[in-house]
Chain A
């Protein structure tokens, strides 16, 4: 299963990818901001993990744009965030984010989040 990992920090991308590898995934596309992510997304991507605060195009802006694309309506989007302020989360979800995970997370927590979203993706 192919993941699109979006984060402006290369270190964070590596952390996410490492965690994904540890829980058994091994196909990844990476992008440094929302704009780049929109370019790299296609139907082969089955799961999106995006940071929130990024230059050029934030995670919420990216998700919103993704949801407007016919091929991006149904892919699960998990947002990585540093603070779990409910209003922020709801704003992100309104933009189309399906769930979120708070930094720092363990691979196990990430796995739970992914598993929870997978059956919902038809």
Chain B
């Protein structure tokens, strides 16, 4: 080994010819080491590195103009020498000024000349820097969470990685549509890269090993070594799934026995990643990309709707996604907290409503009233905050659906552009799961039944690629989720034929379009000509409606022949609190969810009549609506018998089937914390739940959809005795 100074190197380099392959390679190694030599002043480092890199291009034959590259290397090294001399002068000047300088021997710094196959300039840090020998791991084998791992760090890692993986999944789907999207490739690459780097630190070597293989595949795409073909897409998506599974496993292990299980297919996927050869899926690569994804940011159109949304939603919405620190909280604790705050709100309203505070004696206790008002204000703020804590953006659900669209489109042989909109819209976490299944089903339907095959579309003068658009926004205290396709629309006649065939209706006489469309929600109804494995098994839309109604939402359909179908789901912002109108019927009090109420009025005798076959009806401004006497339906005593003595309330479970309820009187608007009746009595027809009212007694929350259905059937469902007691 011959020591080499920067000056020596410069002198050597000047003498080199572009063809001196061996000497160039040697000098390059020496310069690479010099670049990292701490004795070289910072100012010179980049120049030395540049010279080393240029020599590298020569050594590896990565340059066409060898002459120019060599000259550039010479310039860089000369500049480096100049920079070192300048640094020396500055240092000397400082020394003269009485300031000691630790080291200044840069220009005479030495570095060994080394053979080309020398390892990387600085030995890799930890012994574990090479990924674990992943391919030898047996699926299902067990490992444990590293003992000394910082648990908080691990949890942070999981949260961050899950987000990373979700982002990369979205990016992968973007790549389907535009395989050349460099930013998308980089996003996916970065996700694997980050997971790999971090998991290695945490001792999760198996995950690091896997991420390494996945990263390698993506880096080949990034470096344009291979194209992003369908085979590559498949592998990437499988890798994303694998990472998800592994992350979920760590999460589970942390909560439980700390044993990590290798997911099924781990070794096979590692092997597939490592041996991926794009030429083997040439046939697949030729097929057109069938799915495109676009996502538009929140459009200005729903700005007003957003403003109208209660603070609970907006408070959550401002949180954004940028590196906020988070604390993980078990959801049952969060639910309990929200429940308790709900109780607190009620307790507070009981105090505020106490005659001592609000009543005639209020004047005497003026100070107390003021304090109670203050406490009430804080309570409401607390409630809003608690609500916002359970709000999560729909983003995750949307990106899951994006993935689904891709898979379904391929299976169904359709070309689909999937557009999502408003994925930052927030929704009560507890509703997410319940909403998930219906959306999955509806999206499948939209692609499988809604959209026509490409040829058919072309024949109809449409683009071959159909569009399915999923949007979400806040409107009037609701979260609205809309699924729209530009397919063929619902076939009115076929629905009628089928409904008659299935005995759901006798004829379509007097039925509006929307009433006919609503038939597809009937149990056992299916319009698919052919039953595929994707949809059309005759179960589904009824379950969709039931799920949505179980979270006090409603679903409406609009459809135009040849233009497409739109499903609109309206959901309450949160399940924790119901906005309701408290009404009295005899000895009983009911809460009618405000969302279902259209108006209430005291009827004139002329408005009332009885129609054969439809029972009692109310006519208002030309509209004929069936009337349901709540006291008869629920068997309540001492109630107003004649409608003109009581009040009528127009309710609807959708825009269409409006029904009038007879109640004794309105007691006022109230927010209630809904509790499942199961806590008291199990399921009761027509009742969705109960709530503790301001006076400590129980009020029953009407399930308006069910009440309307019951009313039409003329049935009576007396309340169980226990409810009357409790109330």
Contacts and interface: CB of A to CB of B under 8 A. Distances in A.
Given A53-B190, A90-B53, A103 B36 contact: no
Nearest to A16: B201
Given A14-B156, A90-B56, A32 B102 contact: no
Interface size class of A (residues with CB under 8 A): 35 or more
B56 A87 contact: yes
B683 interface: no
B79 to A, nearest CB: 12
A84 interface: yes
Interface residues of B, number: 52
A38 interface: no
A86 B121 CA distance: 8
Contact of A90 (B52, B157, B194): B52
B50 interface: yes
Interface string A7-43: 0111110110010000000000000100000000000
The CB with the most chain A CB atoms within 10 A, among B39, B53, B56, is that of B53
A82 B193 contact: yes
A84 B120 contact: yes
Given A104-B129, A120-B42, A8 B53 contact: no
A67 B102 CA distance: 23
Interface string B191-226: 001101110110000000000000000000000000
B650 interface: no
Interface in A74-117: 74, 76, 80, 82, 84, 86-87, 89-96, 98-106, 109, 116-117
B189 interface: yes
A95 B46 contact: yes
A53 B222 CA distance: 13
A106 B124 CA distance: 11
Given A74-B42, A91-B53, A53 B193 contact: yes
* Top 10 A-B pairs, shortest CB-CB distance: A93-B49, A105-B125, A90-B53, A109-B125, A104-B200, A119-B102, A104-B201, A103-B197, A116-B38, A84-B120
Given A82-B200, A99-B36, A119-B38, 4 more contacts: A9-B164, A94-B49, A105-B125, A122-B101
5 contacts: A10-B323, A12-B194, A84-B124, A86-B32, A120-B38
Interface of B: 32, 35-36, 38-43, 45-46, 48-50, 52-53, 56, 90-91, 94, 101-103, 120-122, 124-126, 128-129, 150, 153, 156-157, 160-161, 164, 186-187, 189-190, 193-194, 196-198, 200-201, 322-323, 325
Interface of A: 8-12, 14-15, 18, 32, 53-55, 67, 73-74, 76, 80, 82, 84, 86-87, 89-96, 98-106, 109, 116-117, 119-122
